[in-house]
């Protein structure tokens, strides 16, 4: 009975934890937007007299999204780029703050940045030696060129890694979305499904024997 309860309790806990944490984050986001934007919206008589309270938060979310979008547009021009680089340098000069800032920035780059333009496809190849294989991302592939630019990320931080020039015949494409491959790297492979493992194994079987035995940088 104890093992039965333990097994099913852990299964239920694993099932509920992502839902509870995600719901809690969304609720905190709702509370933050409500506390930030609602006092400003209440200053507009036409809104407070016409719409109920819960719609004020809805309007606040819309205004917040528009503000973030405007910031994104601002950061894409030269003035915005220079301004945010200046802010980054300022935070990176503060001893303790720079560590927190760098960690948060890396996490944001992993989960928020659109990698589809930078990472074209997922590939597997022999590295760092024979019979050991790595997952990488093609960043540049010129038709007819013998070498392909491949970014080899490190786990669990895929924002750092190596830029490799790999012979085309020593690569094989894996039919896994870039976003899913990034999640695998962040988790250290712990969330890899049986289907993904089988797919990668089949692709590895198609690889020819690499020309070098020692491939460490």
pLDDT digits (tens, 9 = 90+) for 83-106: 878 888 888 888 887 787 777 776
Task: Specify the pTM.
Answer: 0.49
| Model confidence pLDDT, tens digit, residues 163-191 | 999 999 999 999 998 888 888 888 888 88
In this predicted structure, what is the pLDDT of residue 186? 85
Q: What is the pLDDT of residues 116-126, one digit of tens each?
A: 556 889 999 99
Residue 50: pLDDT above 50?
yes
Domain ranges of the chain: 2-112, 121-205
Whether the per-residue pLDDT at 217 is higher than 50: the answer is no
Tell me: pLDDT of 26 over 50.
Answer: yes
The architecture of the domain spanning 121-205 is Roll (2.30)
DSSP per-residue codes, the chain: -HHHHHHHHHHHHHHHHHHHHHHHHHHHHHHHHHHHHHHHHHT-HHHHTTS-HHHHHHHHHHHHHHHHHHHHHHTTSHHHHHHHHHHHHHHHTSHHHHHHHHHHHHHHHHHHS--TTT--EEEEEE-SBTT-EEEEEEEE--TT-SEEEEEEE-SS-TTSEEEEEEEGGG-EEE---HHHHHHHHHTTTTT--HHHHHHHHHHHHTPPPPS-SB---
Inter-CA distances, 155 with 135, 136, 145, 164, 182, Å? 11, 12, 29, 17, 9
Residue 113 pLDDT > 70: no
For tokens 């609602």, the residue is 38
Residue 20 has pLDDT above 90, yes or no: no
């Amino acid at each position: 009975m104890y093992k039965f309860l333990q097994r099913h309790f852990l299964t239920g806990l694993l099932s509920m934890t992502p839902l509870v944490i995600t719901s809690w984050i969304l609720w905190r986001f709702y509370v933050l937007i409500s506390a930030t934007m609602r006092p400003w919206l209440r200053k507009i008589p036409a809104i407070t007299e016409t719409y109920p309270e819960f719609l004020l938060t809805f309007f606040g979310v819309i205004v917040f999204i528009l503000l973030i979008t405007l910031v994104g547009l601002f950061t894409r021009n030269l003035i915005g780029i220079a301004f945010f680089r200046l802010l980054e340098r300022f935070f990176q000069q503060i001893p303790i703050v720079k560590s927190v800032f760098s960690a948060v920035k890396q996490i944001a780059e992993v989960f928020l940045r659109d990698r589809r333009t930078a990472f074209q496809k997922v590939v597997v190849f022999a590295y760092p030696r024979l019979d050991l294989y790595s997952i990488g991302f093609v960043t540049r592939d010129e038709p007819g060129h013998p070498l392909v630019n491949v970014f080899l990320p490190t786990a669990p931080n895929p924002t750092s890694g190596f830029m490799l020039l790999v012979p085309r015949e020593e690569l094989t494409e894996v039919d896994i979305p870039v976003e899913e491959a990034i999640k695998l790297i962040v988790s250290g492979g712990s969330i890899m499904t049986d289907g993904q493992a089988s797919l990668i194994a089949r692709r590895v079987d198609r690889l020819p024997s690499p020309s070098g035995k020692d491939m460490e940088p």
